[in-house]
Structure 1
Amino acid sequence: MAAFKPRAAEAVHLDRHAECRFMKITEIEATPLRIPNVSSKANDGAQETIIVKIHTDAGITGIGEVDASPYMVKAVLEAPSSHNWSLSFEDLLIGENPLDVERLWDKMYQGTMYTGRRGLVIHAIGAVDFALWDIAGQALGRPVYELMGGPRREAVIPYASVHPAIATLPETERRTHELMERVLEMGYRAVKLQLVYGDIYTDADIVRLVRMARQTVGDQMTFMIDVGYRWTDSKAAIQTVRQLEDCNLYFVETPLRMDDLDGYARLAEAVTTRIAAAELLASRWEALDLMDRGKVDVIQPDVSRAGGLTECLRIAKLADDRGLLCIPHAWKSGLTVAAEIHLSAAACNVPLIEFMVPELWPSIIRSELVEPEFTPRNGVIDLPKASGLGVRLNEDIARKLAWPAAQKTAT
């Protein structure tokens, strides 16, 4: 039998693949980005971000970001080693092969356990993890979801995440109705109404807004709400959620304070509507607490904050073992949207992804920082075919927003 002879393009790729098997990480670069006029009163994490680049000796660079304070994350990534349980990211990663993504996640976790294990260090690991998966996909010429065990579906369903700004109640009602109509016109199949208003509106006001929104979108639309940790006791949450049962909500997000695990359990057992939470968690161990003790029906790890794609896939599998859904949180640039798409493509129990709609919430970081934009068609986003995460950084926008060149003070 004649020996296999690859075509020229295939031969180049095979040579490249062989070369990349031995590539090494050479540099970690962390750049905070910030819009000029940040408002500390805005409920908007897309006013800033941090871009983490992992460089290699093969000329491949991966990019990542995380939904956490860019300046704090930069400090974590650039801190020097203290001792063997508090190592720097540079000491942990330089010289390593970036293709060993899961092993490097565990190495970062163990090597920073003195100051890490949760919180900011996990967030920083999440940004690095994005970049490592991006490198792996580029090196192997495959989209990340294929390296993570997918695809399990040919397209993902984004839910439009809409947020009427705080105003008078009549203005909020008008704006809510307008946003729901826009979502219908744009062809979305699912929508989440963010009612993150604290005690500005009464529970009765919230019920009225939800009923009006459901009437506007109709019975066929998958409809959910986010009330932003509204209630401080489970009985108040139970009373209001029960009033909304006939609205057929897909889930109610973050009804109680994040650490009120027993309250979440009481609420979940008292209502038929799915209870969702987890956008703030860091690591699968916090997710386990929320699932096993908090009894939530939907776990919502932020794809970056929770520890990146590696950890979120672990969380999704733990949820699936328990018969629960995993629907990731995301309110950042298109880089985070890309990561969500790959997670949904790789995990069987991620039926929806959060989608910050650029046309409905103008943000230069969301709409211009990376290319291409993942635009839904007929309510779905086709899986990307490009290698890696499938997006590239708009370097001009990154330079324009780089801190400290951008305005540093918040209003």
Structure 2
Amino acid sequence: MKIQDVRLYLIDDQVGGKSDDWRTEATVANPMSEFEAYGEQRSSWMGPGNDPFAIEITADDGTTGIAVNSAGGPPACEVINGHFRQFIEGSDAFDRRKIWEQMYRSQLPYGQRGVSMIALSAVDLALWDLAGNLTGQPVYNLLGGKVKSEVPCYLTAHESILDRVSDEQFFGLKLAAPYGPADGYAEGLARTESMVASARDAIGDERDLMLDCYMAWDKEFTVRAADRLRGYDIKWFEDALHPECVDQYADIRERVGPIQLAAGNMEFGHKAFHQLLHNGAADILQPDLRWTGGLTEVQRIAEMAKPYGVPVVPHAPSIYSYHYAIANPNAPYAEFLGVFEGDRLTAPDTPVVGEPEPVDGYVELDDAPGFGVDLDRDRLLPYSV
């Protein structure tokens, strides 16, 4: 079965949308926090490479495979349209590894990270969806079948909605950290401890508590925060340092224990994750299937991590994360990021129809072929150069 066509779409943000989205309305510490004009909200400095897009791949018989990416936008669409298309159209629909290698090797002179890998990831996910639709099998069966009947989830939220999420039935709560070195070490640490104390009081002692630092901390702040927060039973600090700070992560890993270090949100490709594993720099790997190279590459990362006893927990909630987690024994749980639509906690707005949400903290997957979701066609804007 040959691939006939590749179509690309941008997302109309004037259609749909959910209220009370703390990701755009609340302060979250970030790599730009030290710059006063850009420190409070991530949307103030993010560019078109952070915009979502969708891809649809069609086989000769009219069967389609789709994927939606949370980032990449027009730059990723142009990589696919102007470069990767030649490796996709006319190829066998099941030659995912060959197509992956051709895309990866061809972008080595200008890519290897960021937009080009985000583009590659979207193609790879759409090819997995296409294979499932052609065979009538859910993607988790193509991965070897379920190793668990449902996927336990932790909830990612913000202190601004702590009172609204504290009773939600997830096994753990991860808070986006609003404070860091940019606030001054003394103030940043004090405000972080106050937030953590409130969170622990709100959720009790039986549930896990984690912090997403979003590359806003440094070595000193991370070590001092671990010291300050030892009495609150923190499970992990996520992405405390900038990407590729392998030596720094390895240096502080034992010093912050028993708090674990989770890393990999902004890493691309298996080589970066091999460095984290080889240097003992992370307790938990968190590749994003939509960015780091798709499901094909995250499978490699998972197999690489297994001998080290390091779990590979996918970054961000998505149908791709759920299929991966339900089929992999070293992915014990997945993430669910919550925003509010009125009084209902729900997933962030995406142009996807049919994505399941957790019930009492667990996601169940049915046996629909592919990833079991479709595109919200009313949200799509055909991409043009």
> Structure 2: which amino acid aligns with 1:27?
D
Within 5 Å, give how 1:11-410 maps onto structure 2.
Answer: 23-36=1-14, 42-43=41-42, 48-79=51-82, 88-164=83-159, 175=160, 179-198=161-180, 199-200=182-183, 202-232=188-218, 234-270=219-255, 271-293=257-279, 295-330=281-316, 337-359=318-340, 366-367=348-349, 369-399=351-381
> Structure 1: which amino acid aligns with 2:63?
I
Deviations 1:329-355 (A, max 9, x none): 126xxxxx1000011012111112121
Distance in 2 between residues matched to 1:231 and 1:293, nearest whole Å: 21
> Structure 2: which amino acid aligns with 1:227?
C
Q: Contact conserved, 1:53 with 1:64, CA < 8 A, in 2?
A: yes
Shift of 1:47: 7.9
Distance in 1 between residues matched to 2:264 and 2:41, nearest whole Å: 21
Q: 1:30 to 1:196 in 2, by over 3 A?
A: farther
Distance in 2 between residues matched to 1:243 and 1:309, nearest whole Å: 38
RMSD (Å), alpha carbons: 2.7
- Structure 2: where are the runs of 5+ without partners? 18-23, 26-37
> Structure 1: which amino acid aligns with 2:349?
S
SS of 2:217's equivalent in the other structure is coil
Q: Contact conserved, 1:35 with 1:48, CA < 8 A, in 2?
A: no
State the partner residue of 1:8.
Answer: none
Shift of 1:308: 0.6
SS of 1:62's equivalent in the other structure is strand
SS of 2:348's equivalent in the other structure is helix
Shift of 1:240: 1.2
Distance in 1 between residues matched to 2:3 and 2:52, nearest whole Å: 23
Provide the aligned length of Structure 1 versus Structure 2.
353
Q: 1:182 to 1:243 in 2, by over 3 A?
A: same
Distance in 1 between residues matched to 2:102 and 2:345, nearest whole Å: 35
> Structure 1: which amino acid aligns with 2:233?
N
Q: 1:367 to 1:225 in 2, by over 3 A?
A: same
- Structure 1: where are the runs of 5+ without partners? 1-22, 80-87, 165-174, 332-336, 405-411
SS of 1:65's equivalent in the other structure is strand
Shift of 1:137: 0.6
Distance in 1 between residues matched to 2:158 and 2:112, nearest whole Å: 32
State the partner residue of 1:14.
Answer: none
> Structure 1: which amino acid aligns with 2:3?
I
> Structure 2: which amino acid aligns with 1:25?
I
Shift of 1:317: 1.7
Deviations 1:70-129 (A, max 9, x none): 0110121122xxxxxxxx212211111122222321232223333333332221110001
Q: 1:346 to 1:108 in 2, by over 3 A?
A: same
Distance in 1 between residues matched to 2:151 and 2:2, nearest whole Å: 33
Q: 1:55 to 1:363 in 2, by over 3 A?
A: farther
Q: Contact conserved, 1:127 with 1:308, CA < 8 A, in 2?
A: yes
Q: Contact conserved, 2:50 with 2:73, CA < 8 A, in 1?
A: no
Distance in 2 between residues matched to 1:110 and 1:132, nearest whole Å: 18
TM-score (norm. length: structure 2) = 0.84
Shift of 1:51: 0.3
Shift of 1:360: 6.8
> Structure 1: which amino acid aligns with 2:42?
N
Distance in 1 between residues matched to 2:265 and 2:369, nearest whole Å: 28
Deviations 1:205-257 (A, max 9, x none): 1111112101110111122111222323x233112112212222221101122
SS of 2:209's equivalent in the other structure is strand
> Structure 1: which amino acid aligns with 2:77?
K
SS of 1:325's equivalent in the other structure is coil
Q: Contact conserved, 1:31 with 1:52, CA < 8 A, in 2?
A: yes
Which range moves more in the overlay, 347-356 or 115-124? 115-124
Distance in 2 between residues matched to 1:329 and 1:297, nearest whole Å: 14
Deviations 1:47-75 (A, max 9, x none): 83110111111111111133333011012
Q: Contact conserved, 2:175 with 2:211, CA < 8 A, in 1?
A: yes
Distance in 1 between residues matched to 2:345 and 2:86, nearest whole Å: 36
